[in-house]
Amino acid sequence: MNARESHPYASRSMTRQPTNRLAGQASPYLLQHAGNPVDWYPWGEEAFEAARARDVPVFLSIGYSTCYWCHVMERESFENEAIAALLNERMVCIKVDREERPDVDEIYMAATVMTNGHGGWPMSVFLDPRTRRPFYCGTYFPPEVREGMGRASFPQIIEGVSRAWREQRANLGEHAATIAAAVSEHLSDAPAASLTSEHVSQAVAQLLRMYDRAQGGFGQAPKFPQPVFIEFLLDARESAADDATGDAIDQAVRGTLDAMMIGGLFDHLAGGFHRYCVDAHWTVPHFEKMLYDNAQLAALYARAALVYGDDGYARTARRVFHWLKHEMTDPATGAFWSAQDAQVDGREGLNYLWTRDAFDHALMPAPGEEDPAGVLARDADTARTVYGLAGAPNFQDPHHPSEPPSYVLRTPARPERLARSLEITPDALRERLDRAHARLMRARSARRQPSTDDKVIMSWNAMMVSALARASMAIGDADALDAAARACGFLLGLPRGESGALPRCVRAGVVSGRAVLEDYAALAQACIDLHRATGQAPWHEHAHEVIDAAARLGLAAQTMHDAPAESEDLFVRGLSTHDGATPSGASMMLHALIDLAQVTGERAHAQRAASLLATISGRLAQSPVGAVNSTRALLRMLRQGDLWEQAGADLAPPPAPPRRAEEVDPVEIYAGVERVGLSASRPAVFTILVKIAQGWHVAAPSLEDAPPDAPPLHPFRVGVINGQGVAAYADYPPPTPFAAPGQAAIPTYSGTFELKVVLEQTGEIKGRPLLAVWYQACSEHECLAPTTVELDIAIDPA
């Protein structure tokens, strides 16, 4: 039985008799609020007309069904009779499901971020009903003033906005016009730029600098999966300038995939990934599960399984599909539901957490069940060790600090390492854990389950179709291909509007919302992936039809827009190129066109891809990592001469590859010894001499602390390669700042200097460890390709 069948989506508001205009909506999020005493309207002209007739501002609340703080604000404010009465008296209130109307969400989120420096959900925005422009933006507001929060209460804000509307209307109008102009500029095209392989190199270098070598992932807490980063690095890996860059990419990719796979981000019992982790070491997740995360991650793990020959990655992808089949698939249509909530009964992660007693009880033999061979006891001991139940709890609910701490299930290492530590085979470990998982899942399934948002979203479903189709090819999963074909057939069969317009959502047979650029791009990509997996021509024909419809609707014609041309209910119609939780619609359309050109051989699709890439070239050039999926499209085009030729004058010709450092190396490195002895109790200490030619420099190791706008370079470092059991440490000298014209200053070394190096034995010495130095030499005018110098120093175990 799936989660939706056993626990229908409901909130406390839905147990009341509907009291407002949301009762007839299809969205579960809107239905959540149908019983609120707030007189909610859905987004539409009726609400704005009512506000104009009453001469009051509009209060726009945007959220989604699995949003924790959306639930909190509903309980505290929207179910509060006094606050609801104040809202109804002073405003016309509109509730929007951001997943149903991403075009509405995007423009008001841009306004919120630009006016506050941050955004989030629930989004709380006050609008001029005549222009739909925002004049006051925020997110969660508490029902009363709270010490330490530094913000007014929601009733105070309502009163203040209402007073300003009555007494300072002209000022509000001017402020709204300023915000609208800023949003329009933010979402409009930047001046065109010449795109070259240098933009790809910049993105690679910046991501490698962002990589957390200690914990995996990119950046610090909170840790998000960011699969678009890894997909890009896997593409870049195929054309890395040298082995050092390729090795660094592999370390970042595998370190991140391993950390997510073994950590609390992954549901080790049911399968599937949670949204993100609140800590730096991937232990405590924000427990909601989103279809779009799992689509991207399943595709990524299946691809990585093929690239690295890693069965653990393949198993992770299959576990995502297991969760998808049993908890997220509509049995009537084969389509996929959108999300599972993070909370149960107002408690974050309650369904997923364990106490030690509950864990042990779930693994005990049932009454009357015998265990003469001790299999169940051995399974329980193994599970307790693997998932950390023998240690201290790792979760304390920050919203309910009086509750006792509990455990999020996570493992300390990959399965093969765990098996070695337990002195059993990986297969034996898997068998023990599979039996333990079955018992734990029976216990967990008996609890109240998180609610499932059972609407079907076009782009998210299409992304999962692509994941299933790609996995069927990468890891040989025939069931995945069948599921992909069935779901895609359902999507293509949904009723369409004029010019082939697709719906955004469907729930219980009722379509809602209008499809945006990402929906058309993702559906086209899904059809192409099914064509590749099946070899059946009708699939790429469907892709052609979907892309043509996007052009007719003004989404991807001469330029791209996120919303269709007939979008009169938006105060601005723009285009986002930023890749966040999902890739931008623009980047998805670029990849669909590139793939369609490849599978059909039609050069018109290549020309269109190049032309559309040129329209966003300015924004890509400004931030190759911010638009990393578009940068990946650029990389793909650079590799294909025919696509590059199609670009004509829109793009710069591909530059010559960067010179390798050995062709003109201004850096000389000399070791003061030829052989060193090393033992666990006696490190080896020696010096190396570094000579850098006049006019050249190398970035210092502290480059990682340089400002974000510093040029992406490979810093000077000393380390050990090839073998195991030896670590190198260097006493680096103080750096000197250097700034090329128009660039931020970075810490560098130049001239001649000595470096004290210490080698320590960290374990059994295996292989042939070599001391290596990494650096990238630069002058004021150019930077050579990164290089690695191996020092001929024999390391003898003492």
DSSP 23: T
Question: What does the alpha-carbon distance between residue 632 and residue 640 come to, in Å, rounded to a whole number?
Answer: 13
pLDDT digits (tens, 9 = 90+) for 464-505: 999 999 999 999 999 999 999 999 999 999 999 988 899 999
Structure confidence at residue 664 (pLDDT): 47
Structure confidence at residue 17 (pLDDT): 62
| Percentage of the residues of the chain whose pLDDT score is greater than 70 | 91
Structure confidence at residue 561 (pLDDT): 94
25 pLDDT more than 90: yes
DSSP 661: G
Structure confidence at residue 707 (pLDDT): 47
pLDDT digits (tens, 9 = 90+) for 559-609: 999 999 989 999 999 899 999 999 999 999 999 999 999 999 888 999 999
pLDDT classification of 662: cutoffs 50, 70, 90: very low
Tokens describing residue 722: 């090839």
Tokens describing residue 315: 């198993």
DSSP 329: B
The H or E element containing residue 248 is helix 243-262
Q: In a 10 Å sphere around its CB, with 0-12 CB exposed, 13-18 middle and 19+ buried, how is residue 780 labelled?
A: exposed
pLDDT classification of 16: cutoffs 50, 70, 90: low
Q: Considering Cα of 466, then 471, then 476, then 479, what sign does the dihedral take?
A: negative
* SS3 labels along 82-99: HHHHHHHHHCEEEEEECC
Spatial CB neighbours of 560, under 8 Å, sequence gap ≥ 6: 517, 575, 585, 586, 589, 612, 615, 616
Question: What does the alpha-carbon distance between residue 687 and residue 172 come to, in Å, rounded to a whole number?
Answer: 68
pLDDT classification of 722: cutoffs 50, 70, 90: low
Taking a C-beta distance cutoff of 8 angstroms, is the pair 335, 460 a contact? no
Cα separation values, 403 from 330, 347, 746, Å: 36, 10, 48
Structure confidence at residue 740 (pLDDT): 65
- 535: Cα within 13 Å, side-chain hemisphere: 1
Structure confidence at residue 264 (pLDDT): 97
Q: Residue 226: left if φ>0, alpha if ψ -120 to 50, beta else—which one?
A: left
Q: Which amino acid type is present at position 472?
A: S
Taking a C-beta distance cutoff of 8 angstroms, is the pair 137, 112 a contact? yes
Question: What does the alpha-carbon distance between residue 84 and residue 308 come to, in Å, rounded to a whole number?
Answer: 56
pLDDT digits (tens, 9 = 90+) for 510-528: 999 999 999 999 999 999 9
pLDDT digits (tens, 9 = 90+) for 395-429: 998 888 889 999 999 999 999 999 999 999 999 99
At CA 734, angle to CA 731 and CA 735, rounded to 5?
120
Structure confidence at residue 371 (pLDDT): 87
Question: What does the alpha-carbon distance between residue 774 and residue 669 come to, in Å, rounded to a whole number?
Answer: 11
Structure confidence at residue 439 (pLDDT): 97
Q: Centre a 10 Å sphere on the Cβ of residue 37 and count the other Cβ atoms it contains.
A: 19
146 pLDDT more than 60: yes
Q: Which amino acid type is present at position 572?
A: V
Q: Which amino acid type is present at position 734?
A: P
Tokens describing residue 391: 């240690």
Could you give the 3-state DSSP secondary structure of residue 62? strand
Structure confidence at residue 203 (pLDDT): 95
Structure confidence at residue 689 (pLDDT): 87
Query: Which strands make up the sheet holding 770-775, listed edge to edge?
Result: 717-721, 770-775, 787-791
648 pLDDT more than 70: no
pLDDT digits (tens, 9 = 90+) for 273-321: 999 999 999 999 999 999 999 999 999 999 999 999 999 999 999 999 9
pTM of the model: 0.80
Question: What does the alpha-carbon distance between residue 235 and residue 307 come to, in Å, rounded to a whole number?
Answer: 11
Tokens describing residue 741: 């014209």
Structure confidence at residue 7 (pLDDT): 31
15 pLDDT more than 70: no
- 716: Cα within 13 Å, side-chain hemisphere: 25
pLDDT digits (tens, 9 = 90+) for 249-276: 999 999 999 999 999 999 999 999 999 9
Mean pLDDT of 169-175: 95
Q: What's the farthest any 2 CA atoms get from each other in the chain?
A: 89
E strands, 487-631, where?
A: 503-507, 510-514
pLDDT digits (tens, 9 = 90+) for 735-767: 888 876 656 677 889 999 888 899 888 877 776
Spatial CB neighbours of 770, under 8 Å, sequence gap ≥ 6: 720, 721, 722, 723, 790, 791, 793, 795
DSSP 187: T
pLDDT digits (tens, 9 = 90+) for 759-792: 888 877 776 677 888 788 888 777 776 777 777 7
